[in-house]
């Protein structure tokens, strides 16, 4: 790995210590991680390890076309992709290019991948059996060509991404316990959204709009107030 990239790796390690909220995580990815692994979009998954695999409960996106997630839902309402399935088999960094797809990739999935201009993917995950949690990192719109360098970088930075995301999700869950205590009487949805956003360290649009953007478990119609997309089902951050 070039020396300049080694410097950036040290930088992201130092900067990770200051990441506590969703907004800070996104800034860290945009301003630090992108120097190490250039990309245009990122989708992160967080889930609980069960006997059947990983039950995903959070998705955090950075400059990712959120509407694409609605095309990835399986019959149970969760998110599933050919890349995820292959990673679970290989447990190693994966590279995918839409112009050179793997054999057997479903045509409808590939069409949606291309339609949302994701271009390519560099993917790795962490299956943390000790803490019964898993994280998944799917980088897209990387400069071509993809090769061993991206695999090497992913292998090196995924443990840091994993620990940083776990810290952020723990903060989200701790702060979520305070939502019920927010005084709702006589308050507008906009005012409640502002309070929840401030507690989570995310923008109000994430609370008020993104939760409603996706149907079913991702953004449930049976939501409790303006935060329904986060408090019900698979939560989008």
18-68, pLDDT tens digit by residue? 999 999 999 999 999 999 999 999 999 999 988 777 788 999 999 999 999
Q: Are 125 and 44 in contact (CB under 8 A)?
A: no
In angstroms, the CA 158 to CA 171 distance is: 20
Q: Which helix (H) or strand (E) holds 64?
A: none
The pLDDT of residue 162: 97
Average pLDDT of the segment spanning 210-233: 34
Q: What is the pLDDT of residue 7?
A: 60
What number is the average pLDDT over the span 86-94?
95
Domain 3-173 has CATH 3.30.1050.10: no
Dump pLDDT digits (tens) for 115-160.
999 999 999 999 898 999 999 999 999 999 999 999 999 999 999 9
Q: How confident is the model at residue 104, as a pLDDT?
A: 95
pLDDT of residue 187: 52
Q: What is the mean pLDDT of the chain?
A: 80
- If DSSP codes are grouped into helix, strand and coil, which group holds residue 82? helix
pLDDT at 200 over 60: no
Question: Residue 190's pLDDT is what?
Answer: 59
Give the C-alpha separation, 125 to 183, whole Å.
39
As beta bridge partners, residue 70 has none
Instruction: Give bridge partners of residue 125 from the DSSP assignment.
Output: 136
The tokens of 7 are what?
């410097």
Summarize pLDDT for 69-85 with one digit per residue, the tens.
988 987 777 788 999 99
Pairwise pLDDT comparison (151 vs 3), residue with the higher score: 151
* Nearest to 111, CA basis, from 138, 72, 146, 62: 72
Predicted pLDDT of residue 110: 98
Mean pLDDT across 171-186: 67
Closest C-alpha among 151, 140, 153, 146 to residue 44:
140
Instruction: Give 181-189 contacts, CB < 8 A, sequence gap 24+.
Output: 184/225, 189/225, 189/226
Residues of the chain with pLDDT > 70: what percent?
A: 73
Which of 1-15, 80-94, 223-237 holds the top average pLDDT?
Answer: 80-94
The pTM score is 0.77
Q: What burial class does residue 140 get, using C-beta atoms within 10 Å of its C-beta: 0-12 exposed, 13-18 middle, 19+ buried?
A: buried
pLDDT attached to residue 232: 33
Residue 59: predicted pLDDT: 94
Domain with CATH 3.30.450.80 in the chain: 3-173
């Amino acid at each position: 790995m070039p020396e300049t990239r080694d410097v950036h790796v040290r930088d992201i390690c130092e900067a990770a210590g200051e990441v506590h909220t969703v907004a800070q995580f996104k800034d860290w990815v945009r301003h630090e991680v992108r120097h190490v692994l250039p990309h245009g979009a990122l989708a992160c998954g967080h889930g609980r390890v069960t006997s059947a695999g990983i039950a995903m409960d959070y998705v955090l996106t950075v400059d990712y076309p959120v509407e694409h997630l609605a095309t990835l839902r399986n019959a149970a309402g969760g998110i599933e992709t050919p890349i995820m399935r292959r990673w679970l088999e290989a447990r190693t960094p994966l590279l995918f290019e839409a112009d050179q797809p793997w054999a057997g990739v479903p045509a409808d999935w590939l069409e949606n991948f291309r339609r949302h201009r994701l271009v390519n993917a560099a993917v790795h995950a962490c299956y943390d059996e000790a803490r019964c949690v898993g994280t998944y990192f799917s980088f897209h719109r990387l400069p071509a060509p993809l090769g061993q360098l991206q695999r090497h970088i992913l292998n090196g930075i995924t443990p840091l991404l994993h620990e940083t995301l776990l810290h952020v999700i723990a903060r989200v869950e701790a702060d979520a316990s305070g939502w019920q205590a927010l005084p709702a009487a006589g308050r507008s949805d906009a005012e409640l959204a502002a309070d929840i956003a401030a507690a989570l360290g995310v923008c109000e649009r994430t609370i008020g709009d993104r939760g409603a953007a996706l149907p079913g478990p991702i953004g449930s119609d049976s939501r409790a107030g303006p935060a329904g997309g986060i408090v019900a089902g698979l939560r989008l951050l």
